[in-house]
Amino acid sequence: MAEFPTHPDAVTAAWLGRVLGRRVAAIQWTAIGTGQVGDSVRFTVAFDDPTANATLAAKFPAADPASRGTAAMFGLYRKEVLFYRQAAPLLQVRVPRVHVAEIADDGADFLLLFEDLGPARQGDQIASCSLEDARAAIRQAAAIHAPSWGRAELLEAAWLQPPPGQAERIAQMYPQAQAIFRERYGDELDPAMMALCEELAAQSERYFTRRDPPQCLIHGDFRLDNMLFDVRGGQEPIAVLDWQTTATGRGMTDVAYFLGCGLGEAMWRPHEDELLDLYLAEMAARGVELTRTDIERDYRLGALHGVSTAVFSAAFVERTERGDANFLSMARGACSLALEHDSIAALQGEN
């Protein structure tokens, strides 16, 4: 597709009709979701036969220039498009089926046109979730990791490799992000948690440039805002969205991120052991045998992924009232997990 619309207002009935292979009489759209890096909408599509009317979901570049620039700089839009084209068919995770997945050469414009999974319940990062929802998410983590475990065609795929020098650039930028984070939230975050954030910033080069061999594909932002529950009115338990941060890595990066900054301390503390054991059981059922000892170090380090994501995202995407609440929620949950497991010591190679 040589040209494609990059804003919902640019989607015409004629263009959509060509994509769907049938005449579209009219379309309308409304905004959905809470993402800050891309803008998502729902199209209501009217066909000549009104009994065939349908809805579709779509994702466009962020309207906010700062968010859009950050996404383009780190190749987030390209990753998500190529995830749907090349990786999703190889995994067992439930994602929306795609009608269009297009990316511009410069990586700044893209379009994803999906099946509509509604009616569904949007995950809410700030409100956390039920234990049953947490279990459903953990099963999906295994459905990402196990099918990609040691799979060379994914682990070595060119589009999943970070650009040369990217880790070093992020390590250099991170203390600046922490300074912004401290200025904004210094009076709202527990002092012990802010001290951990400061320590991670001081260790940014060690953290971002470490070279742990990748095990599998990871989502990279595996939290509730990127999940739908009770999909299609309860026909399916969950679907996972927003694959802009797809990468190769260690499976515990997603799991610790989800338990810490995803669930928050009130949920992870009483249910941590159960959810980790569920993950190991789901991985074993898919042919990957792991023990708690196997995952311990990666789990401790994975908690820091939640801290760094909260800090970095808060500094370099559009600031909103919900965004502030979201980043504080992420930081509190991730810091609580990292403090509990002494993640900074794990980073430094200590016991």
Domains and CATH numbers, the chain: 8-115 (3.30.200.20), 121-347 (3.90.1200)
pTM for the whole structure = 0.92
Low-confidence ranges of the chain (pLDDT < 70): 1-2, 34-36, 350-351
Which residue, among 67, 74, 61, has the nearest Cα to 246 in the 3D structure? 74
Please give the pLDDT value at position 240. Answer: 98
Please give the pLDDT value at position 1. Answer: 47
Please give the pLDDT value at position 68. Answer: 81
Distance CA(291)–CA(50), nearest Å, equals: 55
Please give the pLDDT value at position 52. Answer: 85
Distance CA(145)–CA(107), nearest Å, equals: 26
Distance CA(292)–CA(346), nearest Å, equals: 16
Please give the pLDDT value at position 84. Answer: 96
